[in-house]
């Protein structure tokens, strides 16, 4: 527990609790528990002086609909912030973008009602569904982030690329497991380094509330 100064007096700062609502990427698929996204992110934050506890609310195979179904009992009274990283399984199943938008909208509504700060992580559709599908799906995250005033990161995998350069599959291979989808331990480390600063900002917003 950290210490803050208020009018010259030392007061214990409450530990921040953040739920990471997601799918297998959040859950840590294929990795020892300590090498998954949530444990690595928690350690990264602790190393930078943040007294924070992360709840792993990732379920492998979950869609945005699954996230919406779980958000009510994920947002317990202790939770002050939430990382939302969903949509990959919607894409794998070719589900309608309008359906994904409605589900994420519902998740953000629930967070707003619970007075919980959110970091929304975006997802981009592949081109094989056609330009209309891709355009409609890709717009979901930035538009809803703006509507609800949430923090926004455009991609879970942003830490695996240099700057704004498009991902080179041959370069990414070393950071992925054999399935070519899920990050290995080193990939998670890079992802955490990319997302971590945004989570520090999320913590600051929670404390400001």
Token pair in block for residue 190: 């890079």
Point out the catalytic residue in the list 115, 164, 179, 209.
Answer: 179
Instruction: Classify 191 in phi/psi space as left (phi over 0), alpha (psi -120 to 50) or beta.
Output: alpha
* Residue 179 annotated as catalytic: yes
Point out the catalytic residue in the list 24, 50, 90, 155.
Answer: 24
Look at residues 156, 165, 30, 20 and name the one whose alpha carbon lies nearest to residue 91: 156
DSSP string of 56-88, one letter each residue = EEE-TT--HHHHHHHHHHHS-TT--EEEEE--H
Q: Note whether 85 and 27 are within 8 A (CB).
A: no
Phi, psi (degrees; rounded to nearest 5) at 61: 85, -5
Q: Is the dihedral of CA 169, 174, 180, 181 positive or negative?
A: negative
Q: Who contacts 171 (Cβ-Cβ below 8 Å, separation ≥6)?
A: none
* Residue 154 annotated as catalytic: no
In whole angstroms, how far apart are CA 105 and each of 51, 99, 145, 146, 196? 30, 10, 9, 12, 24
Point out the catalytic residue in the list 23, 50, 155, 182.
Answer: 182
* Residue 24 annotated as catalytic: yes
Give the catalytic positions in this structure: 24, 179, 182
């Amino acid at each position: 527990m950290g210490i803050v100064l208020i009018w010259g007096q030392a007061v214990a700062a409450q530990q921040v609790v953040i739920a990471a609502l997601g799918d297998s990427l959040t859950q840590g698929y294929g990795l020892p528990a300590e090498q998954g996204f949530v444990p690595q992110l928690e350690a990264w934050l602790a190393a930078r002086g943040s007294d924070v506890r992360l709840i792993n609310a990732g379920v492998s195979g979950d869609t945005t609909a699954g996230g919406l179904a779980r958000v009510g009992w994920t947002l317990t009274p202790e939770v002050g912030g939430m990382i939302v990283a969903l949509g990959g399984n919607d894409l794998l199943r070719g589900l309608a973008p309008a359906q994904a938008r409605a589900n994420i909208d519902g998740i953000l509504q629930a967070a707003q009602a619970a007075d919980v700060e959110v970091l929304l992580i975006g997802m981009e559709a592949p081109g094989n569904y056609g330009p209309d599908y891709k355009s409609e799906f890709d717009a979901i995250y930035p538009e809803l982030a703006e509507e609800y005033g949430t923090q926004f990161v455009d991609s879970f995998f942003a830490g695996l690329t240099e700057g704004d350069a498009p991902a080179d599959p041959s370069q990414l291979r070393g950071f992925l497991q054999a399935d070519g989808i899920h990050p290995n331990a080193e990939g998670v480390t890079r992802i955490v380094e990319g997302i971590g600063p945004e989570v520090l900002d999320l913590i600051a917003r929670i404390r400001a509330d």
